[in-house]
Amino acid sequence: MSSLDSALQQVDHNSDAAISRLFDLLKIKSISTDPEFSDECIKGADWLVAELESLGITASRRDTAGHPMVIGHSDKVEGRPHVLFYGHYDVQPVDPLDLWHRQPFDPIIEQTSEGDVIRARGAADDKGQLMTFIEACRAWKEVEGTLPVNVTFLFEGEEESGSPSLVPFLEANKDELSVDLALVCDTGMWDKNTPAICTMLRGMLGEEITITAADKDLHSGMYGGPAANPIRILSKILADLHDDKGRVTIKDFYEGVDPLPPQVKAQWDSLNFNESEFLGAVDLSVNAGEQGFTALEQICSRPTCEINGIDGGYTGEGFKTVLPAKASAKISFRLVGKQDPFKIRENFRAYVRNQLPVDCSVEFEDHGASPATTMSIANKAFENTRKVLSEEWPQDAVYAGCGGSIPVVGYFEELLDMESLLVGFGLDDDQIHSPNEKYSLQSFQKGTRSWVRILHTLANS
Amino acid sequence: MSSLDSALQQVDHNSDAAISRLFDLLKIKSISTDPEFSDECIKGADWLVAELESLGITASRRDTAGHPMVIGHSDKVEGRPHVLFYGHYDVQPVDPLDLWHRQPFDPIIEQTSEGDVIRARGAADDKGQLMTFIEACRAWKEVEGTLPVNVTFLFEGEEESGSPSLVPFLEANKDELSVDLALVCDTGMWDKNTPAICTMLRGMLGEEITITAADKDLHSGMYGGPAANPIRILSKILADLHDDKGRVTIKDFYEGVDPLPPQVKAQWDSLNFNESEFLGAVDLSVNAGEQGFTALEQICSRPTCEINGIDGGYTGEGFKTVLPAKASAKISFRLVGKQDPFKIRENFRAYVRNQLPVDCSVEFEDHGASPATTMSIANKAFENTRKVLSEEWPQDAVYAGCGGSIPVVGYFEELLDMESLLVGFGLDDDQIHSPNEKYSLQSFQKGTRSWVRILHTLANS
């Protein structure tokens, strides 16, 4: 039996123990965006250090101004390629909790019409995904005593809260972290039978605005009319962010957005992306986005502006005729091509200030800014990975754009001069960032086997 | 000494004990809008029953589908006028709690530059006000052994939550409650030296709308663009509720709104209402209401539409790139003249449905509907009351419109064929419905004395 086949067999042999290890990690409530869960983030980091050490990896928790990083290094063998694997151990908040069918941090295997799934917050984003890589390393270690390539591990605990410590950390540890190629697992499959390598990521700009009018909440019977209402002002500002064709109205917003090259459009059209099915999966039927583009184009090649949260006045049970002093909204922009997030932030803030009536003030909170990234596929690791993924899964692997944003990929390029290979096994219906998040058991098991194959091919790339 | 003077002296003599009794009532957390506080509402009702009984009033708690009513009857003396006194023992919610300088249900007397105030939730709205009447009755009882007029007491526990049980209760107890005149104390002074009798109340329509797009919260990286965003749709609907002159755009909204009669406008102008001071008190400088009207006209004679609360998506600490399934808003309309709240509800709902894109649905929740009321001042009780108020206070009492809504006044008229005399001692800066609610100690003390005088004059009206 070849060493590859032995390692693949070892993955299957380890299956139950691997699920049990993943469950241990999923039980840790590492919500990074809420300070109440800081200790749980530390617990998550410590768990990963111990896990890496159990594989013979030299690992340590590296504290930052925010949640800690985890760094691990395999014993270096000269002459082998050196890769850095990136994942994050923090997760999204769980609200609205009442929409979960079970406790978010009490993982379980559930049988569904689509096959078995692992149900828990973080199952797909990103704990299940990062464990596919660790389990692949375990299989290699167990059968060969060593990994096929030199591996540095980098696990972050602030991915879901704008990664405030990431850039300073990369800058301070440039020599330690800059290797031949980064592997990033925070992406998805094309569909449940077709693996994908992500070759384009949208950037993101996160902004929060709070509009204040009077210096206190007022009684709408007494002040309703003459006093400015910040919810009304905020609504107007948000309503005017798009024109009636679904285009963003902020000055110079589309600067740096190139038309899709005809050959890429042709490739995408050949993928037979089923827009009705995509929308139908969430009970929608009509594309509500920018006119003149398919959903696939909108997600992979067009920028967007979304309101992610809004809050003002009385929102509890019943009714209260308050005229509130403040109202606020969280807004995110997904960016493509050469759009400059800092320039867009400036123009967005100018737009808000210009819309503001007398007596009203606005506060801005910055929730991160990163440009879009396009991967070059010239590196032969890409094509070799595509080939071995095609061996593992029923359908051949594809290169695809990805609507999400993974700022770390841009930082690796800028700060560490390091390309990234993005492979992940999430599915569109994993409900990441939503109640009842899940990860397909097949994704976990065949994902682990996929990394076994990728590590093997990287040794020869 | 006349019996009136004795009774007034008795009020002053009782002063400390009266404050202590009011504090006991203010300590009860009778927030009617939140089911968590149901037991506190029952406690409030029971407290009032005991209080009335201590005055020799036959009193009882009368349970309803919601929070209980309290009814009391003085011993009936034939040949005397019979009045019904209405007040409410429930209070507004206390959020945002962090803006209170002390616990809302821990009353205290505070010295301020404007004189001593009683600080607590409900101090002005309506516990302090209703206790002025009870203390006036106590003084009469203590000096004369009887009240100058026959009095029925009606205390409600759902005024701050749309009074769902009120109409059924009035209908079921029509014979018991229909008397010569209602006295309602839920109103304010013209200014701190000038008492007022309210002769016009705005009506109110409360509506809550919830817009749903996808069947679950989505990840904005994956679905942002093609999927409809309910916050964006809600913002547009709310933004379009007013035109650029501050007028409400709902069909036929201004039907039944008459221009202000020139003589009323002249009287109002003579009151020298200081608009800059009124707005300046809450840190505003410019009238943001319907163009072409003064603030006083807007508050007393024009209808309004206010957004009282808005909620959707992620509103916690930090950031979450969710594309929410739902967004909702609470909206209230203040109504004047002959505006029909039910017709306006219908047209508002049609407006919302018309604005709704494909794939989106809306749910409406009804939070009450009552028309505006205009009091006739032909009843000589009005002019007599104005005279005795003028004797108690530094400035002569005035007749004034009131921007708030007291639906019970309309119900008394419609269902019990009973006029209402509205007298109260609240001040514009009492911060009712807001953090740090207060009631001027002078309002409490001179308010009690005022009712002593009013009861006396009503006996002779």
In a shared domain, residues A59 and A145: yes
Q: Is the model more confident about A317 or about B330?
A: B330
* Nearest-neighbour CA in chain B from A248: distance (Å): 11
Is A351 part of a structural domain of the chain?
A: yes
pTM: 0.76
Q: For residue B239, give the CATH number of its domain.
A: 3.30.70.360
Residue B222: predicted pLDDT = 79
Which two structure tokens, joined as six digits, stand for A28? Answer: 């840790």
Q: Residue A210 belongs to what domain range?
A: 204-257+303-370
Q: How far separated are the first and last CA of chain B, in Å rounded?
A: 22
Average pLDDT, chain A: 94
Neighbours of B352 (CB within 10 A): 22
Angstrom distance (rounded) from CA A258 to CA A336: 8
Given B370, B396, B412, the domain boundary residue is: B370
Which of A234, A287, A311 lies nearest to residue B226, judging by beta carbons?
A287
- Which of A47-56, A220-229, A360-369 bottoms out in mean pLDDT, i.e. has the lowest? A220-229
3-class state of residue A306 by DSSP: strand
Query: Which of A236, A458, A254 minimizes the C-alpha distance to A355?
Result: A236
Averaged pLDDT for residues A19-36? 97
DSSP A420-435: EEEE--B-TTS-TTST
Interface test with chain A among B319, B322, B326, by most A beta carbons within 10 Å: B319
In a shared domain, residues A161 and A90: yes
* Nearest-neighbour CA in chain B from A307: distance (Å): 6
Binary contact (B242, A222; C-beta < 8 A): no
Residue A211: predicted pLDDT = 98
Angstrom distance (rounded) from CA B203 to CA B297: 15
Longest CA pairwise span in chain B (Å) = 84
CB contacts, 8 Å: A277 with chain B: none
3-class state of residue B221 by DSSP: helix
Query: Which of B345, B356, B340, B335 minimizes the C-alpha distance to B200?
Result: B335
CB contacts, 8 Å: A216 with chain B: 99, 282, 431, 434-435
User: Up-side HSE of residue B173: CA atoms within 13 Å toward CB?
Assistant: 19
Is B49 part of a structural domain of the chain?
A: yes
Is A292 part of a structural domain of the chain?
A: no
Which two structure tokens, joined as six digits, stand for B422? Answer: 């509205």
In a shared domain, residues B252 and B216: yes
Angstrom distance (rounded) from CA A221 to CA B335: 10
| Backbone torsions φ then ψ of B298, nearest 5 degrees | -60, -40
Q: pLDDT tens across A160-189, in order?
A: 988 999 999 999 999 999 999 999 998 999
Angstrom distance (rounded) from CA A124 to CA A92: 11
Q: Is the model more confident about A317 or about B51?
A: B51
Cβ-based contacts under 8 A for chains A and B: 354
Which two structure tokens, joined as six digits, stand for A341? Answer: 């997030």
Is the separation of the CB atoms in A193 and A97 below 8 Å? no
In a shared domain, residues B72 and B149: yes
Q: For residue B54, give the CATH number of its domain.
A: 3.40.630.10
The kind and range of the H/E element at B104 are none
Residue A375: predicted pLDDT = 83
Domain count of the fold of chain B: 2
Neighbours of B258 (CB within 10 A): 10
Residue B270: predicted pLDDT = 79
* Cα angle A156-A162-A164, degrees, rounded to a multiple of 5: 70
User: Up-side HSE of residue B70: CA atoms within 13 Å toward CB?
Assistant: 27
In a shared domain, residues B65 and B169: yes
Is A60 part of a structural domain of the chain?
A: yes
User: Up-side HSE of residue A287: CA atoms within 13 Å toward CB?
Assistant: 20
Please determine, for residue A1, whether its predicted confidence score (pLDDT) is greater than 90: no
In a shared domain, residues B384 and B351: no
Residue A416: predicted pLDDT = 96
Residue B429: predicted pLDDT = 84
In a shared domain, residues B238 and B132: no
Measured in whole angstroms, how far is the alpha carbon of residue A93 from the centre of its chain? 14
Binary contact (B286, A359; C-beta < 8 A): yes
Query: Could you give the angle at which helices B3-26 and B128-144 cross, rounded to 10 degrees?
Result: 140
In a shared domain, residues A71 and A157: yes
In a shared domain, residues A164 and A307: no
Given A342, A370, A398, the domain boundary residue is: A370
Residue A269: predicted pLDDT = 82
Query: Which of A390, A393, A385 minimizes the C-alpha distance to A149?
Result: A385
In a shared domain, residues B220 and B359: yes
Binary contact (A435, B302; C-beta < 8 A): no
Query: Which of B22, B27, B48 minimizes the C-alpha distance to B156?
Result: B48
Report mean pLDDT in 10-residue bins for chain B, 461 residues: 96 98 98 95 98 97 97 95 98 91 96 94 98 98 96 96 93 97 93 90 94 90 89 98 97 94 79 88 93 91 95 88 94 94 98 96 93 84 95 91 82 93 92 92 98 96 68
Given B353, B370, B387, the domain boundary residue is: B370
Which two structure tokens, joined as six digits, stand for A356? Answer: 């503001």
Query: Which of B233, B237, B210, B231 minimizes the C-alpha distance to B322?
Result: B231
B 272-291 near A (Cβ less than 8 A): 275, 278-279, 282-290
Is the separation of the CB atoms in A154 and A70 below 8 Å? yes
CB of A145 within 8 Å of a chain B CB? The answer is no
ipTM summary value = 0.76
Binning pLDDT at 50, 70 and 90, where does residue A319 land?
A: confident
Contacts of B88 (CB under 8 A, 6+ apart): B126, B130, B155, B156, B157, B158, B159, B160, B186
Which residue(s) pair with A438 in the sheet? A119
* Nearest-neighbour CA in chain A from B144: distance (Å): 39
Residue B140 exposed, middle or buried by CB count within 10 Å (0-12, 13-18, 19+): buried
**b or e along A289-301 (b: 16 or more beta carbons within 10 Å of the residue's beta carbon)?**
bbeebbbbbbbbb
Residue B201: predicted pLDDT = 87
Is A268 part of a structural domain of the chain?
A: no
* Nearest-neighbour CA in chain A from B387: distance (Å): 26
Q: Given strand A108-112, what is the order of strands in its sheet? A: A108-112, A115-119, A438-440
Please determine, for residue A108, whether its predicted confidence score (pLDDT) is greater than 90: yes
CB of B110 within 8 Å of a chain A CB? The answer is no
CB of A158 within 8 Å of a chain B CB? The answer is no
Binning pLDDT at 50, 70 and 90, where does residue A250 land?
A: very high
User: Up-side HSE of residue B363: CA atoms within 13 Å toward CB?
Assistant: 7
* Cα angle B401-B404-B405, degrees, rounded to a multiple of 5: 105
Residue A317: predicted pLDDT = 79
Angstrom distance (rounded) from CA B244 to CA B262: 27
Averaged pLDDT for residues A27-41? 96
Which two structure tokens, joined as six digits, stand for A172? Answer: 């301070």
Binary contact (A306, B290; C-beta < 8 A): no
Distances (CA, A) of B442 to A75, B112, B392, B427, B428: 82, 12, 12, 11, 14
Residue B198: predicted pLDDT = 92
Q: Is the model more confident about A269 or about A113?
A: A113
In a shared domain, residues B15 and B68: yes
Residue B406: predicted pLDDT = 84
Is A26 part of a structural domain of the chain?
A: yes
Is the separation of the CB atoms in B430 and B369 below 8 Å? no
Is A364 part of a structural domain of the chain?
A: yes
Is the separation of the CB atoms in A177 and A152 below 8 Å? yes
Is B230 part of a structural domain of the chain?
A: yes
CB contacts, 8 Å: B204 with chain A: 221, 321
Binary contact (A334, B224; C-beta < 8 A): yes
In a shared domain, residues A335 and A422: no
